[in-house]
Structure 1
Amino acid sequence: MPQSPHRLPPDPSGIARAAALLRAGKLVAIPTETVYGLAADARNDAAVAAIFDAKGRPSFNPLIAHVADAAGAQALVDWPAEAERLAAAFWPGPLTLVLPLKPGHGLSPRVTAGLGTLGVRVPDQPATLALLRAFGGPLAAPSANPSGRLSPTTPEHVIAGLGPRVSAVLDAGPCPVGVESTILALDGAPHLLRPGGVPVEALEQALGTPVAATGADPARPQAPGQLASHYAPQAALRLDATDWRSGERRLGFGPVDCDLNLSHAGDLREAATNLFPHLHALDDGTHVIAVSPVPRHGLGLAINDRLRRAAAPRGKAGRTA
């Protein structure tokens, strides 16, 4: 019978074991402030290929490189003044910057899916930052789930979704932010590739300029999270529901009667933290999950992005994570 992955404590012994597994080309699920990531040595082509195989992820969909600090990013990508300003303001934190690759970067070409740019970020999670320092290099780490399915915010989600395809899970408990990082491209004028844990309004304030949104070609994404169908439960989603229908599970927002509530108080930060755990809990064999309207500003932009993609038609080519 296939074995479940080892659960490693987020202490020096667990971190050392995780680093040793990664050096050996194994896959390790790591905690971040956003969701759990499926990590491999970004310089090891076979290890990066194993990420795509374990997830069933399309090979044309690029990965994010996680680094210990801004210096680790600067070794891989060009570094304009805007990147310095944003890194100072938001790293460690849920912001990925997409920048032109430097010559001699040493990464597996699978990480960038053949693009001339790379997404980099410094996660705000003490155990994973310690792991990155112990490992001594960049880790490619998409979300630790089967491609297209709900993102994992607990070790239990990882184990249920990927099981023995992962060598170990560095177990730091639930992820506090709950939605993936914001992805901002800086290979020209700043433009948003994916809303996430840093609101667009905060980016615009730090940059002193508006941030444009960029439409994505689902056949050629520039960053993770741009394909049409993504983040999906087994159940269908009915969005912006202002009524409840017989047989549905009900995911509310604000003062409504429901099965689970993203935030009774209407707090978007609380709603983001609860989004994926609540969808996991409600995805229990029901055919439809109905979801209350969520405001489309601040973190609500990221929440609505995840819900829209989770509700999209589900063809194999449209899924990723």
Structure 2
Amino acid sequence: MLLPTETVYGLGADAANPAAVAAIFEAKGRPRFNPLIAHVHDAETAARIAVFDDRARALAAAFWPGPLTIVAPIRDVAAVCDLARAGLDTVAIRVPGHPLSRAVLAAFGGPVVAPSANRSGRPSPTTFADAFAETGDKAAAAALDGGPCAVGLESTVVAVLDGPVRLLRPGAVTRAQLEAVVGPLAPADGDAKRSPGRLALHYAPDAPVRIEATAPREGEAFLAFGPWPTGEGVFNLSPSGDLAEAAAKLFAYLRAADRTRPVGIAVASIPDEGLGEAINDRLRRAAGFVG
């Protein structure tokens, strides 16, 4: 099913059902070593599936429902099948903030994997139309339109295991917000494999992406940021330089620029602070670099 969340649209399936999870991988063309996030209705359900220490509980209390995924040791291996966890002894889990997704999860009663409803490697869909165009034919009759995604970037992913809390994927919950709760974050290091969205080439449109551009070259579409003249092929992520606005528009504008069939897509420099860290992570991967 197509499931709206506050981050991006997801392609949902029963996390406990290996056949259903396999169908998700098939629909997305997703590498099976890439784990999926299990979505649940509330923190109590999450704690029955994963082993939460005091730090994980503090993060859940601070940011759930919302765009934070916590990677923790698996407690109930039957609730999230081995395929969904990519064979790992951990589970990536979150409580989404979108009221429609939470209503579906409450009615279902168990965890639902819901990776972004795009073909693997493509920009994530943040509107129902883009989600349906990407994988709607795989969602049978269950396709829920929850409107444009308010956040527009995938969730932040942190690992709460032995040792310090590690930032595996930057997202809408910023580093500073996390560190205010659990102290300094460690780099992903060996735990990077426990998070989705870590492929070197990811979130990529068909046209090649050139980042930190000062201006477009001939034939390129341009994703501007801040004051920039309007014109054909120009998509301004935020004329006022607002990072939250830029994050919400990023994937939709990458898709819109790609539909003009440019020779490439140039993207203006984005400040690497706050939400900018997550935006730049996605852009580096769209351009084919590991962020």
TM bracket (short chain): over 0.9
How far apart, CA to CA, are the structure 2 residues paired with 1:93 and 1:203? 13
Q: What's the counterpart of residue 202 of structure 2?
A: 230
Contiguous gaps of at least 5 residues in structure 2: none
The 1-side partners of 2:193 and 2:139 are apart by 26
How much identity, in percent, do the aligned residues show?
53
1:37-73 CA-to-partner distances (Å, cap 9, x unmatched) read: 1100001111011000000101111000000000111
Instruction: Give the match's secondary structure for 1:73.
Output: helix
Post-superposition Cα deviations, 1:148-181, rounded to whole Å, max 9, x if no partner, equal: 0010001111111113111121111100000000
Q: Is the 8 A contact 1:221 1:227 kept in 2?
A: no
Other structure's SS at 2:194 match: coil
Deviation at 1:90, TM superposition (A): 0.3
Greater Cα offset, 103-112 or 55-64: 103-112
- 1:157, 1:104 → 2: CA distance? 33
Distance in 1 separating the partners of 2:79 and 2:68:
23
1:239 corresponds, among 199, 211, 231, to 211
The structure 1 segments of at least 4 consecutive aligned residues displaced by more than 2 Å after TM superposition are 103-107
1:137 offset after TM fit, Å? 0.5
* Contact 2:226-2:238 at 8 Å conserved across structures: yes
Instruction: Confirm or deny that 1:300 pairs with 2:272.
Output: no
In the TM superposition, what is the alpha-carbon distance from 1:268 to its structure 2 partner?
0.4
Q: Paired residue for 1:7? A: none
Aligned twin of 1:260: 235
Q: Give matches, 1:87-236, under 5 Å.
A: 87-167=60-140, 168-188=142-162, 189-207=164-182, 209-215=183-189, 221-236=193-208
In the TM superposition, residue 312 of structure 1 has moved relative to its aligned partner by: 0.3
> What value does the CA root-mean-square deviation take over the aligned residues?
1.4
SS in 2 for 1:272: helix
Tell me which amino acid in the other structure corresponds to 1:195: P
Query: Which whole-Å CA distance do the structure 1 matches of 2:202 and 2:244 have between them?
Result: 21
Counterpart residue identity of residue 202, structure 1: Q
2:278 aligned partner, one-letter code: A
Deviates more, 1:71-80 or 1:242-251: 242-251
1:32 and 1:125 in contact (8 A); partners too: yes
* TM-score scaled by length of structure 1: 0.86
Alignment CA distance shift 1:37-1:238 (3 Å): same
1:56 alignment partner, one of 29, 39, 55: 29
Paired residue for 1:251?
223
Q: Which amino acid aligns with 1:62?
A: P
Q: What is the one-letter code of the residue matched to 2:171?
A: G
Q: Hey, what's the Cα distance between the residues in 2 that align with 1:106 and 1:119?
A: 12
Alpha-carbon shift at residue 215 of structure 1 (Å): 3.8
Superimposed CA distance per residue, residues 204-249 of structure 1 (whole angstroms, 9 cap, x where no aligned partner)? 0112x101121468xx822101110100001111110012211111
- Alpha-carbon separation, structure 1, partners of 2:77 and 2:267: 47
